[in-house]
A and B are shown apart, each in its own frame.
Chain A
């Protein structure tokens, strides 16, 4: 087990690598070149002021010589430094030697003040000169920070002659001991400045190394993350092949097995392979998103239509857990985004809501707004503690609740939700507290009305009252009048249904032999028998079916019997809404409801 990073000893000092030394040398060279700009003005002032003061005692010619020397070496400094910093053809460490030489020249020039003028000056004059040179040396330390050897050259060239003059020059009638003491002081100050310069260099070097190491660790972490993504992608891909093969064998076995027991086992195997396949798909999707391989193709679409579709898909799953799942939406909400990815977000949120709600309900709602519309998923589940609310979006992280044992999934759902939301610039908000349920809110940009195409008929919820009938089902319409058949067909096709037509019982039965409809709409009156007979024949041959009987006649005894027996009957003319309601009730499995929706008299 790896020890946590903070416990491990720091890795070997990377300072020793030639590459990092070179990089550091280049860095400080840059600093010094930059600071060269600061030198001229203070130096100039110093030269002028001290020159004026000393001119009272010392010959002006010598002062001018000194000034000329200072100017010359300053010129050299200002010219050489930027060029040295920019020159990449020579190693930085070599160039630093040249900087040191330039410093040496400057030190000699500045220090010349002492040995040019000492002979002419009294104690006060010498003290002034000493102050000027020691001050200049402090300035030099600042200017050459990071290159101690340059400072050493300067200080040596400037301070050593000064100290020597104090220690050995002919003393004035005043104290002799004091002269030597000043010389010693000068050397001491020089030494202290040298120590400070070295210390500054070391600090700089450490900071530099830290930055390097940090950058390296960042690179390493990035590489690890990419490796993980590649691993996930290849694992999920490699696992698919044997899984798919298993599926093929289950299929092969199914062609042989007749007995109920084996058929049942095969069904369970199919469920298991399906579940495994879903896990792998999750993993693969996640790795694709992680690798940035998922593109959003945004366009205007109707959020409400999408919500209804997804909610319809999840109804059976919620019902299996005894949870009512409802959608509360306005008639439409045009938004701008990628419908497939949005569908994924909603599906994952519903997955989670259902998973973590042992009892209560799950609600989906859409709240249109001016610039953003909000999609909300509420559940009355276990809730999420505040300190977990950030972590649940991490991949592979799952709440540690009793539900964990029953969960399928790898803990990727919310991580995918967040990333997809980021991809499409949706807002994502979580409100939850333990025991108080959870609310996820996703805010989507609203589509401008002229860019939102009017919803395609197959996707739109039927306009008008909100009775919803699922799309894509197949109906068999049996009626002896062609106009009625076609009218029915058009009506149902408008809902996205598949329509089969038959003009009498014989044709109807023949068609049913090939294709089984989800629903039969049978007219009472037809050639060669009536609708009820057909229904009985159908039931005899194919078992219970969803059937709606339509009649234009008043209720005869026969019809009343049929109704009493539970057959839903609609009276012509049938308007769309009543038909929808009756069909919806039938599909929900409430023949009684269909009856209520149908004509009472």
Chain B
């Protein structure tokens, strides 16, 4: 599978590429340092895009919108030096499918990357807590009632894949896709994509993929 790493710091690019390859030899990492170079890869079927918001030729959340448009259906994970939960929320709202701050515990990073490689949704636990502390109870019971298939459908939808693509990838009917989606949203008690991201990340905390 192919992963695109966009970060203006060359050391970090090399580090991420090394780690990803060490985690999974099947991963081919393309790393670029500017948004311009990233956009040039627009057609490539990446499995995921790891995007730093601070780039020399594009700054901030506007880059996310552009990435979401340039790589439809591909999960865009924001990798950020800033771990402010408000920034995480803004990123999710702008189309990100995950957020991981450049913290310094390698085990946490490996968990995050593993989640991403497995198509999951990653948010750091404290970011989730900061946003929806009372959802812990709801998510806990959701763990019990949603099937893996339903969760898989939901994750793909969050990544921006249209229902048709989801039905093809998972080998199920489009109608089934829609029904799974509405079930998941109902059970999780979420009303929009952003809330779904948080809820699924929370579910993911307790049900590693």
Contacts and interface: CB of A to CB of B under 8 A. Distances in A.
Contacts of B169: none
Contacts of B208: 514-515
Contacts of B22: 251-253, 255-256
A248 B21 CA distance: 11
A459 interface: yes
B103 A457 contact: no
A45 B106 CA distance: 93
B198 to A, nearest CB: 15
Given A493-B140, A500-B144, A501-B144, A247 B109 contact: yes
Interface stretch (A203-211, A269-277, A362-370): A269-277
A245 interface: yes
Interface in A6-65: none
A58 B136 CA distance: 109
B133 A248 contact: no
A462 B105 CA distance: 33
B206 A248 contact: no
Contact of A244 (B15, B130, B144): B15
Q: Is the interface of A mostly helix, strand, loop or mixed?
A: helix
Given A245-B14, A256-B22, A251 B140 contact: no
A489 B22 CA distance: 40
Given A244-B104, A252-B22, A255-B23, A457 B134 contact: yes
Interface in A400-450: none
A270 B107 contact: yes
A490 B209 CA distance: 25
A471 B136 CA distance: 10
A500 B106 contact: no
Which of B15, B16, B134, B141 gathers the greatest number of chain A CB atoms within 10 Å? B15
A496 B18 CA distance: 38
B144 A274 contact: no
A454 interface: no
Interface residues of B, number: 32
A251 B105 CA distance: 9
Given A248-B16, A255-B22, A501-B144, A459 B107 contact: no
Interface in A275-308: 276-277
Given A248-B18, A249-B18, A459-B133, A497 B140 contact: yes
B110 interface: yes
A232 interface: no
Contacts of B81: 237, 240-241, 244
Interface string A228-261: 0000000001001111111111111111100000
B141 A489 contact: yes
A515 B206 contact: yes
Contact of A251 (B11, B14, B106): B106
A249 B19 contact: yes
B137 interface: yes
A245 B133 CA distance: 32
Contacts of B41: none
A498 B143 contact: yes
A499 B140 contact: yes
A474 B139 CA distance: 13
Given A247-B105, A276-B104, A501-B144, 11 more contacts: A241-B9, A242-B11, A244-B15, A248-B15, A248-B18, A252-B18, A270-B104, A274-B105, A456-B134, A474-B206, A499-B144
